[in-house]
Amino acid sequence: MSELELTDITKSYGKTRALDGVSLRVRDGEFFTLVGPSGCGKTTTLRTVAGFESSDAGEVRIGGQSVADVPPEDRDIGVVFQNYALFPHMTVAENVAYGLRFRDPPGGVSRDERVSELLSLVDLDGFEEREPDELSGGQRQRIALARALAPGPDLLLLDEPMSALDARLRKSLRRQLQTIQSDLGVTTLYVTHDQNEALAISDRLAVMNGGRIEQVGSPRDVYRRPETPFVAEFIGDNNVFAGAVSQASAPEDRSVLDFAGTPIELPRIDADSALVCVRPEALRLGSGTNQLTANIVASEYLGGSVRLHLRWGDQELVALTDRAPPDEQIVIGFEPEDIHVVTTDPDSEAV
Ligand code: ATP
């Protein structure tokens, strides 16, 4: 069992509180991602798990055991960082074998055999004698992954391993990483600031903000049902509306949110105010139960769809449609059932 559990971790650097009570549980074999903006505490969390940082308070448990007194090299953890960190003067084989410096290869095989196994796993058979500067960025990261996996760790930690790569390479490496991770079943904690990557790659993810975890869930849950205003804004280009809620002018099963004078019908809620969100793909060109006339600020052609950036009063909106309309001003519609209520106490949290 290599479940990872963090309980109430806090960590400050001088006056900066990097982690402010972080608790989470990564299940055995799970691909779990920490996602959040720069400076929210992702790397500090990962370094605390690896034992490169000690927390001020709280506990890290791996496989049910506290690792408070276990030094990094004895934690059975493989780590891959953003900037490859391969040794330039060592061959690929020596770099991978470096992962075995504290530990014999698993399965009773020789070091050379283990290196070949790992190179095969990352699809770089025959690269043993190459030097790192003879490799592409994607190949270097696959070697870094092979090195981290060489001792057969209980836990794999990955800190923005693809951020230095171009978009096409990132996509193919992401697929490769997912396959390797699920084939090996190694419990994985992955750090990224890229919400699309987090949604695409993870079994579950935690959205971090200001040293705290705002929400943990499956990609679908976090995308469709954000629980805080921050998550609603950070994940998936959501359109956010806040205002007073009344039942007076609404049909029986609905409430009406007064958004700067414009009524927005939503499924009935028992509240005086609310912050709600609507996903970009739920905004349709043309009329609907709720409709707004908005100006097109920009449109991005995405191949299969078009992302329209719209302005309605002071509010920016994003719609995902199948075409870019020729007009500057358009009517967009959306239905009450496409509205997700994030909170009925919007004043208590910063938006
Ligand atoms: P990024 O995506 O930019 O890497 P992050 O989410 O990984 O950011 P951390 O690197 O964990 O964030 O940093 C969290 C906070 O702690 C930030 O405010 C950062 O400036 C601060 N911090 C991190 N390491 C140190 C350090 N060694 N000394 C002082 N402050 C630090």
CA distances from 249 to 254, 256, 264, 268, 334 (A): 9, 7, 11, 12, 18
User: Considering only CA atoms, which of 260, 333, 266, 263 is closest in space to residue 293?
Assistant: 333
The atom of ligand 1 lying closest to the CA of 14 is 29
- Distance of CA 67 from the midpoint of ligand 1 (Å): 22
- Distance of CA 47 from the midpoint of ligand 1 (Å): 11
The strand ranges marked E within 218-338 are 239-246, 254-259, 262-267, 273-278, 284-285, 290-301, 306-312, 315-321, 329-334
pLDDT for the residue numbered 1: 65
The atom of ligand 1 lying closest to the CA of 47 is 11
CA dihedral 105, 109, 115, 120 (to 10 degrees): -120
- Distance of CA 44 from the midpoint of ligand 1 (Å): 6
284 backbone dihedrals φ, ψ, rounded to 5° = -115, 150
pLDDT for the residue numbered 284: 92
- What residues line ligand 1, using a CB cutoff of 6 Å? 13, 16, 18, 36, 38-44, 193
DSSP states of 311-324: EETTEEEEEEESS-
Cα 102 to Cα 328: distance, rounded to the nearest angstrom: 64
Q: Is the CB of residue 186 less than 8 Å from the CB of residue 15? A: no
pLDDT for the residue numbered 24: 97
Cα 241 to Cα 5: distance, rounded to the nearest angstrom: 36
Per-residue pLDDT of the chain (351 residues; tens, 9 = 90+): 699 999 999 999 999 999 999 999 999 999 999 999 999 999 999 999 999 999 999 999 999 999 999 999 899 999 998 876 789 899 999 999 998 888 888 888 999 999 999 999 999 999 999 999 999 888 999 999 999 999 999 999 999 988 878 888 888 889 999 999 999 999 999 999 999 999 999 999 999 999 999 999 999 999 999 999 999 999 988 999 999 999 877 778 899 999 888 899 999 999 999 999 999 999 999 889 999 999 999 999 988 899 999 999 888 999 999 888 888 899 999 999 999 999 988 776 544
User: Considering only CA atoms, which of 209, 180, 196 is closest in space to residue 120?
Assistant: 180
CA distances from 53 to 9, 71, 215 (A): 12, 10, 24
> How many residues make up the chain in this entry?
351
- Distance of CA 14 from the midpoint of ligand 1 (Å): 12
Query: Which helix or strand (DSSP H or E) is residue 113 part of?
Result: helix 111-121
- Distance of CA 209 from the midpoint of ligand 1 (Å): 12
pTM of the predicted model, to two decimals? 0.91
pLDDT for the residue numbered 83: 74
ipTM: 0.96
pLDDT for the residue numbered 171: 86
Pocket-testing residue among 34, 35, 40, 189, ligand 1, by greatest number of atoms within 8 A of Cβ: 40
pLDDT for the residue numbered 348: 63
Q: Are strands 262-267 and 254-259 parallel, antiparallel or unpaired?
A: antiparallel
Alpha carbon nearest to ligand 1 atom 15, residue: 18
Q: What is the DSSP letter of 128?
A: T
Residue labelled with tokens 């190179």: 119
